[in-house]
Structure formats: structure tokens, C-alpha cells
Amino acid sequence: MRVLVTGGAGYIGSHTLLELMAQGHEVCVFDNYSNATPDVLTRVRSLSNGVIHDYVGDVRDSDKLDEVLQDFQPDAVIHFAGLKAVGESAEKPLYYYDVNVSGTLTLLRAMARAGCKKLIFSSSATVYGEPEYLPYDEAHPTNPTSVYGRTKLMAESILSDWAAAGDDRTAVLLRYFNPVGAHASAQIGEDPKDVPNNLMPFIAQVAVGKRDVLQVFGEDYDTPDGTGLRDYIHVVDLARAHVAAIDYAANAHGARAFNIGTGLSYSVRDMVSAFEKASGQQIPTKTVPRRAGDIAVMQADASRAKAELDWEATHGLDDMAASTWAWQSQNPDGYEQR
Ligand code: NAD
Ligand code: UFG
């Protein structure tokens, strides 16, 4: 299929390009590089030896989207382009609604003009909010606790209504749990621009000496070691879930949500231990109070994805830690050359 990938130069998008091309799909990237660099595509091209069409543009720019959609004529769109920092979303709510919600609307309108009716959406487990039961299945009530989470849930609602309004429209809503890890080549990976908000990139920067100490946000949760539990998912498994979603969308109609996780969960201490083992480095830690808005445990019931997408995670914790270490240690400054 011909697949337009918005945000394709980002962390998850870049890994997905490789998996799509490996399965024979033709890809086109649309990205404004607000959180990525064009060097990413240079590396993806050299890893794949494949053709990647690419356009620079913003998903809120309908003229630019028209140009791309008319030129490339995609069969489906994977919509990664968006903003993802929970803390920043509280400070800049209108910016988050604009990019994540208006951006999705603008994209859907442009798709309608080009006759493209299939969309795979980057949603998040954060749409569920405080768990009423665990693991979360897709029927769990949605009650996001952040502006970011609400933008994702709003976009999901728009996509569901859009898909229901036409017989041949498909929206696949992928609710990611916690993506970590990097490609086996160590050529592409996560490259946060500022201080990392997330656990794994922070641990990785401590291991290479860019940061002194990992702050453990609370050790008084009702969990076995007192730290938060998360369902970490290897980014290559996550990328493959998009390929499975593209195959599914070819024959499905309407909107459908899928949890994309492993069904297992690990604590902050587990992640530190796994990283120490993979890297041979000691990770100094310091316990500080809980981070506002954090939930004790998030864990997926990923059985729907297995049954309907024929997808399940295959990479374990050691692989998540080892691939993160390989990427970080071989690219201590990310995509920036030293
Ligand atoms: P990322 O920031 O690495 O990738 C997003 C890409 O979109 C970047 O290349 C950025 O330059 C581009 N972009 C941002 N705004 C744009 C705009 N207005 N127009 C065009 N391009 C734009 O993030 P990621 O981790 O790869 O996440 C991809 C998607 O998955 C996001 O929508 C994010 O909300 C969602 N998601 C991520 C996580 C996670 O923990 N990484 C978890 C759940 C959901
Ligand atoms: N943590 C620390 N120290 C840090 C960073 C995180 O102790 O420096 C802890 C957190 O308290 C939490 C765990 O590590 O217990 C994971 O935290 P992350 O920030 O890596 O991930 P979150 O689960 O908080 O959030 C992530 C994404 C959100 C997304 C959510 C659910 O950042 O965008 O997963 O998909 F909404």
C-alpha cells in the first residue's frame, strides 16, 4: 500500500518506516521537524536502501497537505504528528488542542478531498486515566487526567464519528502504553531535545554521564517495591503494530481501538536494574516526592490486538534496555554530530 506517515521523522515514526518498507509498502513522510531532524530520514534511507518520499509541512496547513495527498495519492495515512509532553500541555493548552485536535481535523478534510479513507492514529493509554480495574481493556472508561490526554481522546472521538459517517472509512486507534528501546542497528532511537520527561531516556542519559542522578518519583505507591509500574513496549514491536493495523484496515470498516502493550509491567527499580545489567554502568538514584498526576500502575490487556490484528509483542525487558544502551552509547548526543 501507499502510506503517508505524518510525523514520520519522529521516534516512533522512524522505526515504523523501516517496518513498513520491509513489508513492501511505499512510504511518504510529512513532518514539520518541530521535534525531529532531517538526518533521521538519511539514516532510515541508508538502513533500508528504499525510497522515502518526503515533504516538510505542518498538519494544520491544509494547502500543503493537499499538495502532498494529490502528489502521493496514499491508500492510508498513519498519523503520528503531534505533541506529547504532559507537563507542557498544561502550560500551553491551546497549542496542544491546535496541533493534536485541529491538526487531525485538517488532515481528515484533506484526506476527504484526495479520496483517502483509512487512518491509523497514535493514541495513548493515558486516555483511560485512573484505573477502575487492571489490566485496562479497551472497554475501560476513558477519563484522561491531563490536557494532553484530553486532546488524544478528542481526536479519537472525531475519528470515530468520521468513520461512522461513511461506509468505507476506517480509523484504527492505537493506544500505546510506554514505548522504549531503539532499532537493532543503533542508528535510530529516541532523541529528546530538552531534559527527558520519560524514565528510559533519562536513565540512558545518566548512564552516559550527561546527567548525574535519576530522580525516582515516589517510593510510597501501593506496588511491590513502592515505585510506579508501567507496561513498557519495545518501539520495534510498536512499529510492527502499525504494519498490522495497515493490513487490518485494508478489510475493516468503522473505528476500532486497540491497546498496544505487552500485558506485563515493570517498576522504576526494575528498569534501573535492567539498564545497569545491559550497560554495565551504575545508575545513581535519589528518591523524591511523587510527580503530580502520576498513576501507580498502568498495564494493558493486549488480547484484542492479538485476536484481531494478529499482533503481539516479542521483545522483552533485556532487549528494551540493551537497545536503548546501544543507541545512547553510540550516539551520546543523539542525531547531533559531535
Ligand atoms: P516525536 O515527537 O518523536 O514524533 C512526532 C513527530 O511529529 C516529530 O517528528 C515532529 O517533528 C512531528 N510534528 C509535531 N508537530 C507537527 C505538526 N504540527 N506538523 C507536522 N509534524 C509535526 O513523538 P513520538 O514519541 O514518535 O510520538 C508519536 C505520536 O505517538 C505522537 O502523536 C504522540 O502523542 C503519540 N504517543 C507517544 C507516546 C510516547 O511515549 N512516545 C505514547 C503514546 C502516544
Ligand atoms: N519516573 C521516575 N523518574 C523520572 C521519570 C519517570 O521515577 O525521571 C517514573 C514515573 O513516576 C512513572 C514511570 O517512571 O512511574 C514512567 O514514567 P514516564 O514519564 O516514562 O511515563 P508515563 O507513564 O508517566 O507517561 C508515558 C508518556 C505519556 C503517556 C503515558 C501513557 O510520557 O505521554 O506514558 O501512554 F500518556
Pairing between strand 170-176 and 52-56?
unpaired
CA distance 77 to 101: 16
Q: First vs last Cα of the chain: how many Å apart?
A: 38
Q: Which three cell numbers stand for residue 67?
A: 499538495
pTM (predicted TM-score)? 0.98
Closest by CA to 281, choosing from 211, 191, 182, is 211
Give the residue, by CA position, lying nearest to ligand 2 atom 12.
228
Q: Cα separation of 143 and 151, whole Å? A: 12
- Residue 137 and residue 52: Cα distance in Å, rounded? 36
CA dist 129 and 264 (Å) reads 18
Q: How much distance in Å is there from the Cα of 198 to the middle of ligand 2?
A: 5
Whether residue 6 has its Cβ less than 6 Å from ligand 2: no
Q: Region 53-69: what's the mean pLDDT?
A: 98
Q: Which ligand is nearest to the CA of 261?
A: 2
**Is residue 287 a contact partner of residue 324, using CB atoms and an 8 Å limit?**
no
pLDDT, tens digit (0-9, with 9 covering 90-100), for 241-300: 999 999 999 999 999 999 999 999 999 999 999 999 999 999 999 999 999 999 999 999
d(CA 184, CA 72): 30
Residues 328 and 186: their CA atoms lie apart, in Å, by 8
Longest Cα–Cα distance of the chain, Å, equals 56
Please give the distance, rounded to the nearest whole angstrom, from the Cα atom of residue 115 to the centre of ligand 1: 25
Ligand closest in space to the Cα of 80: 1
pLDDT value of position 103: 98
Q: How remote is the CA of residue 7 from the centroid of ligand 1, in Å? A: 6
Is residue 55 over pLDDT 90?
yes
Check pLDDT > 90 for residue 50: no
Which pLDDT band holds residue 111 (cuts at 50, 70, 90)? very high
- pLDDT of 334: 94
Separation between Cα atoms, residue 244 and residue 266, nearest integer Å: 26
In ligand 2, which atom is closest to the CA atom of 290?
11
Active site residues: 148
Write out pLDDT tens, residues 143-191. 999 999 999 999 999 999 999 999 899 999 999 999 999 999 999 999 9
Model confidence at 49, in pLDDT bands (50, 70, 90)? confident
pLDDT band at 337; cut points 50, 70, 90: low
Q: At what angle do helices 268-279 and 199-207 cross, to 10 degrees?
A: 40
Is the minimum distance from the CB of 238 to ligand 1 under 6 angstroms? Answer: no
User: Average pLDDT for residues 192-207, to the nearest whole number?
Assistant: 94
Distance, CA of 234 to CA of 314 (rounded, Å): 8
Which helix (H) or strand (E) segment holds residue 298: the answer is none
